[in-house]
């Protein structure tokens, strides 16, 4: 389905590009869904108003895939791509991306230069972060009478909290959770995962719930699985759960213990069709106000320190956003931050091992 | 057409008794050559007619697939971006310890690759063979970007001790040639040991061999199931009066025309634990509310959904063959004393074989490459090798690996096709 969808997305994108007039425009490839809507509302509309440059939004399951394909085929059609940190680093090292000088980014309203205003790790040679997002556990409150689960360890406790679990079908966002649930402190996760015993320990913990796991691949699936009653607990992207809870009034509750934090980065590929417009868009979308505005539409944390103070209410006008932000200090004690270097080295190896573990009955 | 090229003219000439020794045309040229020329012209015209199709197939099918398959044994990520050390490997045979010249070449290449921002490509290529080394390249690259002072061996080892690893040097030697069989080795759960010999990967890393087996076993099973389910239906369609059989035919064709995704997701609605079938079973009291059956997100789900989706490919060829079977053969057999079972077994069934062969081949080959349905309903135990190919295409972006797996799958199908041809004969196929 993923491939079909991507082909469809690509062909639609090509169609759009083919018919587009010569007027100034910029093609932004992002993740679709509620996230895309938040970007359209917070970035694209004011950008077009301010500059007259039209923004074409293109959805992909993971924008790094079409980026790599376009660069390989030497036919780049997207100008700005929204990718994960590990992909940004990898693509930058492979020479697929334009280097971005942080000095061109607008300073904070109080004059703090962008280099200091962005949170550590949010600026890279070829990429500028826009938001933090978390992979968190959510459960269906109607399924647990009496005591409700509250920790990552509860996710693995089938006796106390019986029922199916939803987990993503990749090693990156499953192995760490198993270790956290097994009592490994958040700051020792990557040391553990780098060692044979640590990996074995993670798989052993996963073994305890393997028979009761429904595996998901696309971000919309865990929410759907919970809503269908197919699972009682699932991990998923905090923005999507927020959307289901606040936007659709679903009886879900989020467990912030053991969240996995990622950054999303804007990158510009080499030989993009509208390089100047791409830079303009990137500068505009990552300024203090725009990043704060995005939180009105989705529960992802802005990558600038100066944006935090401007984050207010959700678009419904009554929900306070701060308790829903993955960057809320209360949730950071057991949060595991994505380590792109680790995953660049070990992703292939651990993915192979994970698949082997999955396929064995 | 001129007289000279008309073979009939020659026949007329010879018949007139003018030429004696060998046959010639009216203007005295040998007949055989004239015939060959005229046939050549006809052939050329026929070729021109199919030329557009040939070009179309070549451009849209053979070339892209060929390019993709080429990636399975050709990966110049290292050799192109590290020319000096690659040259050193070419000059010095395997087993030579790296001397200062080698370290100098390595340092120069690392510096150049880091400045050209191709160091990631280099690291990715080596990381395929020695997991965990990608960051060794990128991190070293960052440090040597401004240049590096001799002695190079000490300088590089100071940056990271791992540079002295024999396994790393072996991997670099292998990668210094753009042609490699390592991706094929990996597709067969094999790897190179430190001394370069081929060995099995540890059990917890093995996955492809088992998935190939599962893919072929499930495809066989699904082919068998479509036969068991499809044969009676095809027979019914072929023997009912036209009006009724047309109605039934629509029931077969309607799902055939429905989108694959719609059919697969319908099965999800039916089979999931909170789905229609489980609801009915619980309502009827066959199972308790807590014992709902797991019929999807596992192998069962893959088998059920794929059998349903591939069923028309079995029914249609069977039907077209059964329509042509003369009912009087079976009647004759019965009147000669055969029981209905014997008449079916000895007279009717053998005549359906061309349709069965075509249907089985279609279903099997389609099943071997099936991707969407197992991805959606297969969970973890119902995944097939094609899902692994897709994963390498879209997630790990290791296209060489995807190409190697695809090439193996293609080779396996071609071998099966050849075996089938030897055993049954392709000429016996009847596709409709």
| 3-class secondary-structure state, position B153 | helix
Q: Searching chain A, which residue's CA lies closest to the CA of residue B297?
A: A214
* CATH of the domain spanning A134-262+334-359: 3.40.190.10
Closest CA to A5 of B372, B395, B268: B372
Residue linked to tokens 């994963």: B391
Band (pLDDT 50/70/90 cuts) for residue A11 is low
> Are the Cβ atoms of A352 and B205 closer than 8 angstroms?
yes
How many Cα atoms are found within 13 Å in the side-chain-facing hemisphere of B142?
10
Band (pLDDT 50/70/90 cuts) for residue A217 is confident
Domain residue ranges of chain B, discontinuous segments joined by +: 3-70, 83-205, 208-428
The pLDDT score that the predictor gives to residue B296 is 85
**Which range (A66-70, B22-26, B134-138) has the least confidence?**
B22-26
B107 part of contact set with chain A, CB < 8 Å: no
Tens of pLDDT, residues B382-406: 889 999 998 888 777 788 999 999 9
The residue with greater pLDDT, B431 or B395, is B395
Tens of pLDDT, residues B156-214: 888 888 898 888 998 899 899 999 898 999 999 988 877 778 888 888 888 899 999 99
Using the predicted structure, report yes or no on whether residue A172 has a pLDDT greater than 80.
yes
Domain A2-132+263-328 has CATH 3.40.190.10: yes
The pLDDT score that the predictor gives to residue B96 is 83
List of residues 6+ apart from B322 with CB closer than 8 A:
B234, B235, B237, B238, B239, B352, B355
The pLDDT score that the predictor gives to residue B116 is 85
* Cβ atoms within 10 Å of A313's Cβ, excluding its own: 13
Same CATH fold assignment for domains A2-132+263-328 and A134-262+334-359: yes
The pLDDT score that the predictor gives to residue B214 is 92
Specify which residues A235 forms β-bridges with: A137
The pLDDT score that the predictor gives to residue B31 is 86
Q: What is the pTM of this model?
A: 0.79
Give dist(CA B263, CA B255) in Å, integer. 8
The pLDDT score that the predictor gives to residue B143 is 83
Band (pLDDT 50/70/90 cuts) for residue A254 is very high
Residue B390 with chain A: CB contacts under 8 Å: 2-3
| 3-class secondary-structure state, position B365 | helix
Pick the CATH number of B208-428 from 1.10.20.60, 2.60.40.1180, 2.40.50.140, 1.10.3720.10: 1.10.3720.10
B376 part of contact set with chain A, CB < 8 Å: yes
In degrees and rounded to multiples of 5, residue B325 shows phi and psi of: -80, 125
Concatenated DSSP letters of A261-330: EEEEEEE-BTT-S-HHHHHHHHHHHTSHHHHHHHTTTS--EESBHHHHTT--B-TTSS-BSGGG-TT-GG
Band (pLDDT 50/70/90 cuts) for residue A305 is confident
CA distance B206 to chain A (A): 6
Give dist(CA A17, CA A27) in Å, integer. 9
Indicate the angle between helix axes B100-115 and B83-91, nearest 10 degrees.
150
* Tokens (6 digits) for A82: 């929204």
Concatenated DSSP letters of B8-66: HHHHHHHHTT---SS-B-TTS-BHHHHHHHHHHHHHHHHHHHHHHHHHHHIIIIIHHHH
Using the predicted structure, report yes or no on whether residue A20 has a pLDDT greater than 70.
no
Using the predicted structure, report yes or no on whether residue B87 has a pLDDT greater than 60.
yes
Band (pLDDT 50/70/90 cuts) for residue A15 is very low
Tens of pLDDT, residues B231-271: 999 999 998 998 998 999 998 888 888 888 899 889 988 99
User: Above 0.95 for ipTM, yes or no?
Assistant: no
Q: Which of residues 328-357 of A touch B (CB under 8 A)?
A: 341, 344-349, 351-353, 355-357
Band (pLDDT 50/70/90 cuts) for residue B15 is very low
Domain residue ranges of chain A, discontinuous segments joined by +: 2-132+263-328, 134-262+334-359
Residue A209 with chain B: CB contacts under 8 Å: none
* Tokens (6 digits) for B114: 């880091």
Alpha helices in B145-205 (DSSP H): 152-159, 166-175, 182-187
Indicate the angle between helix axes B166-175 and B83-91, nearest 10 degrees.
100
Please provide the average confidence, as pLDDT, over all residues in chain B: 86
B116 part of contact set with chain A, CB < 8 Å: yes
Band (pLDDT 50/70/90 cuts) for residue A223 is very high
Closest CA to B68 of B411, B406, B410, B369: B406
Do residues A344 and A323 lie in contact, with contact meaning Cβ atoms separated by under 8 Å? no
Q: Searching chain A, which residue's CA lies closest to the CA of residue B374?
A: A1
B400 part of contact set with chain A, CB < 8 Å: no
Give dist(CA B30, CA B101) in Å, integer. 72
């Amino acid at each position: 389905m993923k491939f079909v969808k991507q082909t469809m997305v690509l062909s639609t994108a090509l169609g759009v590009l083919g018919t587009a007039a010569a007027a100034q425009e910029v093609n932004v490839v992002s993740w679709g869904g509620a996230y895309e809507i938040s970007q359209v509302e917070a970035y694209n509309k004011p950008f077009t108003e301010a500059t007259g440059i039209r923004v074409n939004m293109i959805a992909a399951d993971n924008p790094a895939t079409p980026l790599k394909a376009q660069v390989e085929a030497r036919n780049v059609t997207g100008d700005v791509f929204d990718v994960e940190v590990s992909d940004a680093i990898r693509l930058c090292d492979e020479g697929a991306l334009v280097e971005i000088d942080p000095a061109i980014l607008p300073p904070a309203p109080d004059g703090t230069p962008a280099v200091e205003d962005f949170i550590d790790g949010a600026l890279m040679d070829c990429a500028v972060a826009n938001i933090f997002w978390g992979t968190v556990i959510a459960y269906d409150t109607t399924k647990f009478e009496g005591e409700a689960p509250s920790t990552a360890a509860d996710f693995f406790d089938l006796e106390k909290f019986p029922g199916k679990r939803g987990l993503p079908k990749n090693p990156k966002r499953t192995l760490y959770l198993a270790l956290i649930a097994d009592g490994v402190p958040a700051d020792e996760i990557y040391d553990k995962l780098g060692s044979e015993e640590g990996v074995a320990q993670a798989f052993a913990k996963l073994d305890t719930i393997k028979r009761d796991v429904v595996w998901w691949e696309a971000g919309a699936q865990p929410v759907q699985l919970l809503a269908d009653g197919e699972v009682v607990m699932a991990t998923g992207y905090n923005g999507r759960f927020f959307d289901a809870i606040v936007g659709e009034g679903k009886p879900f509750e989020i467990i912030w213990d053991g969240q996995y934090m990622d950054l999303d980065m804007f990158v510009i590929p080499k030989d993009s069709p509208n390089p100047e417009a791409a830079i303009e868009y990137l500068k505009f979308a990552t300024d203090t106000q725009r990043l704060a505005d995005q939180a009105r539409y989705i529960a992802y944390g802005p990558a600038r320190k100066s944006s935090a103070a401007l984050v207010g209410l959700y678009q419904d006008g009554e929900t306070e956003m701060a308790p829903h932000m993955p960057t809320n200090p209360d949730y950071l004690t057991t949060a595991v931050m994505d380590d792109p270097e680790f995953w660049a080295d070990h992703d292939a190896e651990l993915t192979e091992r994970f698949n082997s573990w999955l396929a064995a009955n | 057409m001129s007289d000279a090229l008309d073979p009939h003219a020659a026949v007329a000439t010879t018949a007139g008794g003018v030429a004696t020794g060998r046959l010639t045309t009216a203007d005295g040229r040998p007949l055989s050559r004239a015939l060959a020329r005229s046939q050549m012209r006809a052939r050329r015209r026929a070729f021109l007619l199919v030329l557009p199709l040939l070009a179309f197939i070549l451009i849209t099918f053979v070339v892209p697939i060929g390019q993709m398959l080429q990636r399975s044994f050709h990966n110049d990520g290292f050799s192109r971006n590290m020319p000096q050390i690659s040259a050193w490997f070419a000059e010095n045979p395997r087993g030579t310890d790296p001397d200062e010249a080698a370290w100098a070449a390595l340092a120069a290449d690392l510096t150049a690759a880091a400045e050209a921002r191709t160091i990631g490509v280099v690291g990715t290529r080596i990381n395929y063979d020695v997991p965990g080394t990608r960051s060794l390249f990128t991190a070293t690259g960052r440090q040597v970007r401004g240049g590096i002072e001799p002695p190079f061996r000490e300088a590089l080892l100071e940056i990271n001790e791992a540079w002295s690893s024999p396994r790393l040097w072996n991997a670099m030697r292998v990668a210094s040639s753009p042609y490699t069989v390592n991706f094929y080795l990996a597709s067969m759960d094999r790897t190179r040991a430190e001394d370069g010999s081929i060995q099995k990967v540890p059990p917890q890393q093995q996955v492809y061999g088992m998935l190939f087996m599962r893919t072929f076993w499930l495809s066989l099973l699904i082919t068998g199931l479509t036969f068991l389910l499809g044969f009676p239906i095809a027979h019914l369609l072929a023997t009912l009066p036209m009006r009724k059989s047309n109605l039934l035919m629509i029931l077969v064709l309607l799902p055939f025309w429905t989108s694959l995704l719609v059919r697969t997701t319908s099965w999800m609605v039916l089979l999931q634990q909170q789905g229609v079938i489980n609801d009915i079973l619980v309502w009827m009291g066959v199972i308790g509310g807590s014992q709902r059956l797991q019929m999807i997100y596992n192998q069962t789900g893959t088998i059920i959904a794929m059998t349903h989706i591939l069923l028309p490919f079995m029914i249609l060829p069977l039907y077209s063959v059964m329509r042509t079977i003369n009912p009087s053969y079976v009647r004759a057999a019965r009147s000669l004393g055969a029981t209905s079972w014997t008449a079916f077994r000895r007279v009717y069934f053998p005549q359906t074989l061309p349709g069965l062969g075509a249907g089985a081949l279609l279903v099997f080959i389609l099943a071997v490459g099936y991707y969407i349905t197992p991805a959606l309903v297969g969970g973890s135990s119902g995944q097939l090798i094609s899902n692994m190919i897709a994963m390498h295409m879209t997630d790990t972006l290791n296209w060489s690996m995807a190409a190697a797996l695809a090439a193996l799958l293609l080779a396996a199908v071609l071998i099966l096709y050849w075996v089938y041809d030897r055993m049954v004969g392709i000429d016996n196929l009847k596709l409709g």
